[in-house]
Structure formats: C-alpha cells, structure tokens
C-alpha cells in the first residue's frame, strides 16, 4: 500500500521504566521533535515533558480500568501521520515487551504508514537492577524468563516448562496475582525458601521494594496504590540484599568522610 502521509511518520518509542535519564538518546530526540505524542498511563509526566512542542494525549489503561481502545489508538496514529505529523507513540519500558507494540506496528504497516521502533529499557531488567539484583549471576542463574502474571492460562504453562529453581523468573503484571504466581511455582516444585522480590515504581523517586521468600510472596504487604510493580523470583534475589548492604556501607563511609 502507498504511504500518503505528506512527511508524516510514527515512532513507536520505549520510554523506559520512568526515570527520564533512562530514555535513550534516540527516544529523547524523537520526543523533542514530535508534533503529537500518545502516551501510556504508566509513563510519568517528567518523561512526557521531553516533548515540549507536541500535543500530548494519554491513552492506554491501568489494570482493570477502561481506557482508549487499541483500535482507537491505531486510528489516531494513522490519522496523525496522514496529517503530516511526526507522531510518537510513547510506551513504558520497551514497545515490544508485553506491551502490544507489535499490534501497533502491524496496523501501521497495513495502513501503509511509515514507522520505526525505538527500543526502550524494559522493566524486565530495570526493576531487578534498581533493587540491586543481577538477574543472571554466574553460579546462581544462567538465564531468565520474563512472563506476564496476569492470566493463569499464560503463566502456568511457562512455569511448568521450567526446571524448578533453574532460572530467574521475572513477572510483569503480576502484583494482584502474586499469591497465585507463588502457588503455581511451589506446585511446580520450586523451593519454599527461594528468594523473591517485588519492586514497585522502579527508577522513580517513589520506588519501594519488598524482599522475602517465595512462600511469603502471596502475603507480601503492598502499599502500591497505583505504582507498577515487577516480581523477581530466584536465588539471584539474595544478591539484592548484598547490594543494599554495600549501599549502606557506602553511606556510612561517606558520612565518616564528612561528605
Ligand atoms: C503492560 S506491561 C508493559 C511492559 C513494558 N513494555 C516493559 O518493557 O517494561 C506493564 C508492566 O510493566 C511493569 N513495569 C512497568 N514500569 C515499571 C516500573 N517502573 N517498576 C516496576 N515495574 C514496572 C509492571 O509489571 C507493569 O504491570
């Protein structure tokens, strides 16, 4: 199909986990030049502010709440490009990781609209990193699995395909289902004392974390409000505690040195 966009163009841009400093250089450039930005609910205002001259609209939904439909988002992207605009579709993390970016790319391709995908720092790695957890660490885990926890039908088969305690499991969209997530792993033979973490609002000033054991994950107290959260399960989570200790000793060293 011919692209009749008069210079219009769509960038599907990964916004990263929320800290504006974790935008890629390319993402920041696309935002700076954008005429129209359609952004996800999880993208904080400080990141959206990187598009000072654009019209900006929040689309996309938070758990359990209605929002602009996916089809409407496709229509808005296509219409904006056909009006000759530089359109940015700003999605949290990476556009192609559990975020329907693929559907948006297919819709643009079907409409003959030129587009690009700008990768972003996914919360799959940013959330554990923010808690000091190296998701692969020699001797503890040689791989990781990233999975959506929100539907048992997609989560369970993946867990059942894994050797218990064989890899690090990173669960997005799993906060409300954390009791079921833990039960599924325990039923599959994972150790009850497997270290587990929940990282809320990773990379943002309001970040919080819980670190405990798999058999305590379901009862982990959360005052998350609306904050997005990522669950990390596996022996590498124990290293998060080491990172905290090292940060604490850096602080006391800095205090001792009067900095
Ligand atoms: C619809 S998924 C999109 C994932 C996104 N495309 C990515 O690559 O990170 C949204 C989920 O990402 C996770 N998430 C996004 N931002 C986060 C953050 N700052 N801290 C922790 N988890 C986050 C949460 O699990 C949230 O439910």
Domain residue extents for the chain: 9-118, 123-244
Question: Ligand 1 test: best mutation among 148, 172, 175, 233, most atoms within 8 Å of CB?
Answer: 172
The secondary structure element, H or E, covering residue 233 is strand 229-233
Angle made by CA atoms 234, 200, 253, in degrees to the nearest 5: 80
Q: What is the position in ligand 1's atom list of the atom closest to the CA of 101?
A: 6
pLDDT of residue 240: 78
Helices (H), 68-192: 70-82, 101-111, 123-130, 152-160, 178-187
173 is an active site residue: yes
Question: What pLDDT is recorded for position 70?
Answer: 93
Question: What atom of ligand 1 comes closest to residue 172's alpha carbon?
Answer: 25
Q: What is the pLDDT of residue 1?
A: 43
> Distances in Å between the alpha carbon of 135 and those of 30, 76, 83?
30, 38, 44
Quick one: pLDDT at residue 253?
47
- Residue having the nearest C-alpha atom to atom 3 of ligand 1: 99
Fold of domain 123-244:
3.30.950
Considering the segment(s) 9-118 as one domain, its CATH architecture is: 3-Layer(aba) Sandwich (3.40)
Contact between residue 190 and residue 176 where contact means Cβ atoms under 8 Å apart: no
Alpha-carbon distance of 231 to 224, in angstroms, equals 13
Residue ranges, the chain, pLDDT below 70: 1-5, 61-66, 224, 241-259
Ligand 1 geometric centre to CA of 1 (Å): 34
- Is residue 30 within 8 A of residue 15, CB to CB? The reply is no
What angle (nearest 5°) sits at the alpha carbon of residue 137, between those of residues 176 and 186? 40
Q: What is the pLDDT of residue 65?
A: 61
pTM over 0.95: no
**For residue 39, how far is its CA from the centre of ligand 1 (angstroms)?**
14
> Would you call 61 a catalytic residue per the annotation?
yes
Q: How many distinct helices (H) and strands (E) make up the chain?
A: 9, 10
What distance in angstroms lies between residue 243's CA and the mean position of ligand 1's atoms?
A: 22
| Backbone dihedral region for residue 196 (phi beyond 0: left; psi -120 to 50: alpha; all else: beta) | beta
Tell me which residue has its CA closest to atom 7 in ligand 1.
Answer: 93
pLDDT of residue 254: 46
């Amino acid at each position: 199909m011919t692209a009749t966009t008069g210079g219009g163009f769509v960038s599907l841009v990964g916004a990263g986990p929320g800290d504006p400093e974790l935008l890629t250089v390319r993402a920041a450039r696309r935002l700076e030049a954008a005429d129209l930005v359609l952004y996800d609910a999880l993208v904080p205002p400080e990141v959206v502010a990187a598009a000072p001259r654009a019209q900006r609209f929040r689309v996309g939904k938070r758990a359990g709440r209605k929002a602009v439909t996916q089809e409407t988002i496709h229509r808005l992207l296509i219409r904006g490009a056909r009006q000759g605009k530089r359109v940015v579709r700003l999605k949290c993390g990476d556009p192609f990781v559990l975020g329907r970016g693929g559907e948006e790319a297919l819709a643009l391709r079907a409409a003959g609209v030129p587009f690009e995908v700008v990768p972003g720092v996914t919360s799959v790695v940013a959330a554990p990193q923010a808690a000091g957890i190296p998701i692969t660490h020699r001797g503890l885990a040689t791989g990781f699995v990233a999975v959506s926890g929100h539907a048992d039908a997609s989560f369970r088969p993946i867990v059942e395909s894994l050797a218990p305690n064989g890899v690090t499991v990173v669960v997005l969209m799993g906060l409300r289902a954390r009791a079921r997530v833990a039960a599924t792993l325990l039923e599959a033979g994972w150790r009850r004392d497997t270290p587990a973490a929940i990282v809320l609002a990773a990379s943002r000033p309001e970040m919080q974390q819980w670190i405990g054991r798999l058999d305590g994950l379901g009862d982990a107290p959360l005052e998350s409000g609306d904050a997005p959260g990522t669950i990390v399960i596996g022996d590498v989570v124990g290293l998060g505690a080491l990172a905290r200790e090292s940060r604490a000793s850096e602080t006391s060293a800095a205090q001792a040195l009067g900095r």
